[in-house]
Amino acid sequence: MPSPDLPLSDTPSPAIRVLLVDDHPMFRAGVRTSLETGTEITVVGEAGTAAEGVRLARELRPDVVLMDLRLPDRSGADATRDLLDGDDPGGNVLVVSMSEEDDSVVAALRAGARGYVVKGTGREELLRAVRTVAEGGAVFSPAVAARLAAYFSALRAAPAQAAFPALTPREVEILGLVAQGLQNREIARRLFLSDKTVRNYVSQLLAKLQVEDRNQAAVRARDAGLGT
């Protein structure tokens, strides 16, 4: 008979159940291998289409669904929305995709995804993301988090576009960062651009604003509500 003095902590926790939804079998195989190196996570199913992913999620009841955004029948964002709609949602969704386009990221979040990491993410980072999402948290890879910050910064800057009609939306975005006091190299890192590209943008917007330097441009920008 087992000793009644055995600590409860010796009882192993149930494995996190994961469903993979991606149309590339080799990618699914690689992710499965990465996740199932121990007993903490088990892959309970795989799907190559959005429809199959939604069906399996409702059937298998995984803790986490790893969802690609580019599927052959529908987008992963649409599948996420279907999966999470109603009174019987089919698990927490963690997007794992090559796409870092702003619209794709925002569409996945609006659909209810709890995390977004890019394909090629290291094993340890992927494991942490799965654990976090399984526990009900939210997680984003550094690259995606930076793009989201830039995206919402651009949305806040939209009213200022009317104040600078000669500037493109990207130039307005960079002007706002100049108004915050960021130098070209910092702007380049923030927006995932090269230093040379940022220098060219700054030169163009200075010429369009007809100002002598970035300090004058920053004053104009702050007067219009940018950089605050």
- pLDDT number for residue 11: 53
- pLDDT number for residue 98: 84
- pLDDT number for residue 120: 85
Tokens of 141: 């890879």
Q: Of the spans 73-82, 110-119, 165-174, 218-227, which averages the highest pLDDT?
A: 73-82
CATH 3.40.50.2300 intervals, the chain: 8-140
Give the model confidence (pLDDT) of 19-53 as tens digits. Answer: 999 999 999 999 999 999 878 999 999 999 999 99
What does the DSSP 8-state code read for residue 183?
A: -
User: Under DSSP, is residue 84 helix (H, G, I), strand (E, B) or coil?
Assistant: helix
- pLDDT number for residue 51: 95
Give the model confidence (pLDDT) of 150-185 as tens digits. Answer: 666 555 555 666 678 888 888 888 998 999 999 999
Better-predicted residue by pLDDT, 146 or 116: 116
- Alpha helix ranges (H) inside 36-122: 50-60, 76-84, 102-111
Better-predicted residue by pLDDT, 50 or 140: 50
- Distance between first and last Cα of the chain: 69
CATH class of 147-223: mainly alpha
CATH number for the region 8-140 comes to 3.40.50.2300
**Burial state string for 113-147 with b = 16 or more CB within 10 A and e = fewer than 16:** bbbbbbeebeeeebbebbbbbbeeeebbbeebebb
CATH 1.10.10.10 intervals, the chain: 147-223
